[in-house]
Every structure is written in structure tokens, then in C-alpha cells.
Amino acid sequence: MFATLSDRLADTFKNLRGKGRLSEADIDATAREIRIALLEADVALPVVKEFVAAVKERARGEEVSGALNPAQQVVKIVNDELVTILGGETRRLRYAKTGPTVIMLAGLQGAGKTTLAAKLALWLKEQGKSPLLVACDLQRPNAVNQLQVNGERVGVPVFAPEPGNAGGIEHGGDPVQVARASVEEAKRTLHDVVIVDTAGRLGVDAELMQQASDIRDAVQPDEVLFVVDAMIGQDAVSTAQAFLDGVGYDGVVLTKLDGDARGGAALSIASITGKPVMFASNGEKMGDFDLFHPDRMASRILDMGDMLTLIEQAEKTFDAEQALKAAEKLSGKGGEFTLDDFLEQMQQVRKLGSMSKIMGMLPGMGQFRDQLENFDDREIDRIQAIIYSMTPAERNDPKMIDGSRRQRIARGCGRTVSDVKDLVERFFEARKMMTQLARGGGMPGMPGMPGMPGLGGPGGKKKGKQPKKGKGGRRVSGNPAKAGQKAPAAGQKSNPFGGDVDYEKAAEELQLPKDFSKFLK
């Protein structure tokens, strides 16, 4: 969503590289580029003015003029200001001390409230809570049915005593009474969180505000969350302000963050309304929902990655026992890493989501955005099909896969022989690299690391002119004076400062303590 903003800011920072100091002209030019980048990203004008003024003020301060690398310091300033306008710090849910915690969702129709209610219920369930979904949207056709289907998908019960507008028939019903009855139902069935899904409209009107206010007064929610579509642009800010004045809310939930809109509205809401963004939905799956972290979002915008979120997702997804077995095999302690192990690890990674989303969380991947967007996740299915077409013996020992076996495997999975050959070759290369990393040997092909062909590491060959060798294989210096010096005899120590010294005899003459001689060997 923030691709345009990220690219413009990256180009702005490139212009500062190599500068030992920032002049007034440099600061003004940088501020102008940042202003244009924010306006193009659809950030509200008051927020842009405040943001640029803060960056310019700090950029003129001692923290930049005395810095060794002004470009990096400006990046840090922009990062800090982005965190500020995004809300400053992560805001978490407040739970009721007694009785069920009531969370009310409000917003326009089409913002994704009903789907988000189920996502929030699943997230709370993973936190150890026992949520209950409440269908109070009795106006939109089949809204109650949609909530029931989503509740079944996430394994959360739905309280829906009224069918609402279903099958083209208006059954009526009082959403305020449904909301009030849901709290009693939660107490009776021992649910500790109640999530109330309310009706929306295509636009802000008096009837919508009155109904939302009545539901709020009836259930006295502990949290009122305003759900907003991050793709609707500047209208998101005006709608957020209208709901704040008409109903009031405690936090904002952004939906459709995985869209291709410019997304500046998401940067504006927290700053203009003063209410923090609490949650973000960034995908169609029920698990694509999490707390909103301003610092992590700022890092993503500046192409510095989001490793903490990636680690958290990996901890929830990966099987620790399988990961330990794979690590032992790579380090040589638990047998050899096979194609079966490779397939298991690939399936674990698949659970994290699409590869483009995973890679997008790594620092510096903005420059490969086009390749990531064009990555076909079905390629993993093709690799899986090739491996499944092999016999157990071939998976355990891919070296035995010769030409005739490749043909058989290719016919079995519907791929070409060259696809099978490429997969096996890539597996050997990946296994070699991962094994070396697991043993602490460093990455192959990097200078100064073990096993580096052509780069001077142990076991590698040095490129360029080799020194001359004398008799017996001894290397001879190109300097005639040094080349004429006599080499030390076998077993005799050479003195780097010139001349040969008998260290044992010298130690006796110095009359050192008896135990001291061991330090001279």
C-alpha cells in the first residue's frame, strides 16, 4: 500500500549520500521532496505541514550538523516523525475487571466490519479468550448469515436471535435489544469477550449515528472501535472525524492494508483525530490480522523491514521440534539433510503466507518489489509435485537420480526433465550453504570466510600473481635483500625483529621465576 511513498522517500535519501554536512539548501530540498512524497501518498495537508516542519527543525539541529553520517541521521528523524503521526506506541485492548469485555465495531458499510469481527474473534481466541460474536446488523441483506458463516470458520459462536434482512425479506428486529441481550447471553454461557457487529451506511447520516449511539448506551462497551477502509483516501479522515463527533470511539482499525491504494489516509487518521490505530487487517485470510505497531509500520515505509512481525509469525507457525531436527541435520549431528526435510521446511514457510509478503518484511526488499509482485506462489506447488514423484530412496539420496530417473519423475509430476534437474541442483547448493551457516562457517562466496573459492579463505585459491618459491617449496620474497636472508633451521624459532635468539637461554640469564618459562613456549 505504501509503495509509492517508500519509493519517493528512498530516492530522496539517495541524494543525501556522500555528503559530509547538510547545508541549508540540502535541508530545504529534502523537506520539499518529503512534502511532495506525502502529498502524492494522499496524506492530509495539515499532517504534511506539521510533519515537514518537525523534520526541518530537527534537521537543522546539532544532532545532524555534528553527525558523522547526515543521511542516516535524516532517515532516523523521518522514522521518528512517522512513528509519531502513526500514534507513537502500540495501543492494546482494555479488558473489563468484572463481567464480559464488550467491544463494539462501528463504521461505514463496505469497510469490512463483519469480516473483521470474525478476525478479531480469532485473534482473541488465540490470546486465550472466549469470545462471542453478536449480529446487530439487521439491515444489510444477509449480514447475519455472513457473520454466522465467518464465526463457523474461526470456531466462535454467534449470537443471532434475529434473522435480519435475509432472502430479500425484511424481518425487522431491534438491534439495540439484540445487543443488550447478548451481554446476558455471554454471562450465561461464560464468554469473557462480546464483539458487537453493528450496521453501516453508504454515507454518514443521522439515522446511522443515532442507532450506533443507542447500541453504545445500551451495552456500555469497554472499547468502541472505528473500522475504516484504508483505500478510500481523504474521505477516511472526514468520516473518522464525523464518527468521533457523533458516536465517539477509542481506537481505529484499518482494513484492506494489502490493497494497492496510496494509503495516506492511514497516516492521517491518528494524527487528526487523536485516536490511535489499534489493529490492522492486511489480507483476505482470517489470520491476516494483528495489533498495529507504529514503529514497525514506519520501518516498512522506509524499507527497513519488519523482522519482529516476521519472527512472531514464525514462532506461531513453525513446529519447534521439526525445526530442531532440521538444524541438527544441517550441523551434521542428526544425519543428512534430505529432500523430505527440505519439503517439510518449505511447507512450514508456506503457512506464514505468500512469499511476496514474507520477503517484503525483510530489510531492503523495496528495490525488488517488481520481482516480488510477479512471484508465482504456485511454483512451490510445482516443486512439491516433483518431490512427491520421487521414491523414498531418491528423496533420501538425491545423488542417485540419473537421467532415466529424471525422466520417470518428470512424467509423474507433469514437469520437464530440466525442471527436475534444476530442482536437484538447487537443493544441493542450498544444502551446502545452509550446512555451512549451521556450522558457523559463514556464507560461501564471501571474503574472509572458510571455503571461499577465489577469495582467499581457507581451502580456497587466491587469484592474482602468486609469490615466487625457492628450493624445497619455500617462498622467496621479491626483495633481493629479504630473499638473501637465511631461513631458520628446522625446529629453530625465528625472531621477527632480526637475528636469531635462544629464548630458553635468555630466560635463564634473566633469572625469571621457574613457572614463568611456560609462557615463553
190: annotated binding-site residue?
no
472: annotated binding-site residue?
no
257: annotated binding-site residue?
yes
199: annotated binding-site residue?
yes
317: annotated binding-site residue?
no
Name every residue whose Cβ is closer than 8 Å to that of residue 308 and which is 6 or more positions away in sequence.
293, 296
Bridge partners (DSSP) of residue 169 are 166
Q: Is 56 in contact with 27 (CB distance < 8 Å)?
A: yes
107: annotated binding-site residue?
yes
112: annotated binding-site residue?
yes
What is the C-alpha separation between 135 and 158, in angstroms, rounded?
7
323: annotated binding-site residue?
no
What is the C-alpha separation between 121 and 28, in angstroms, rounded?
48
What is the C-alpha separation between 471 and 476, in angstroms, rounded?
9
306: annotated binding-site residue?
no
Name every residue whose Cβ is closer than 8 Å to that of residue 222 and which is 6 or more positions away in sequence.
94, 95, 96, 101, 102, 103
500: annotated binding-site residue?
no
4: annotated binding-site residue?
no
Q: Please write down the long-range contacts of 393-402, taking CB distance under 8 Å and 24 or more positions apart.
A: 394/339, 395/338, 395/339, 395/340, 395/343, 396/336, 396/338, 396/339, 396/340, 397/338, 398/338, 398/339, 398/424, 398/427, 398/428
Q: Decide: residue 372, CB within 10 A, 0-12 exposed, 13-18 middle, 19+ buried.
A: middle
> Within its chain, how far is the Cα of 406 from the centroid?
38
86: annotated binding-site residue?
no
366: annotated binding-site residue?
no
What is the C-alpha separation between 130 and 190, in angstroms, rounded?
8
113: annotated binding-site residue?
yes
Q: Is 132 in contact with 157 (CB distance < 8 Å)?
A: yes
484: annotated binding-site residue?
no
What is the C-alpha separation between 267 and 509, in angstroms, rounded?
79
197: annotated binding-site residue?
yes
- Tell me the binding residues for GTP: 107-114, 197-201, 255-258
- Tell me the binding residues: 107-114, 197-201, 255-258
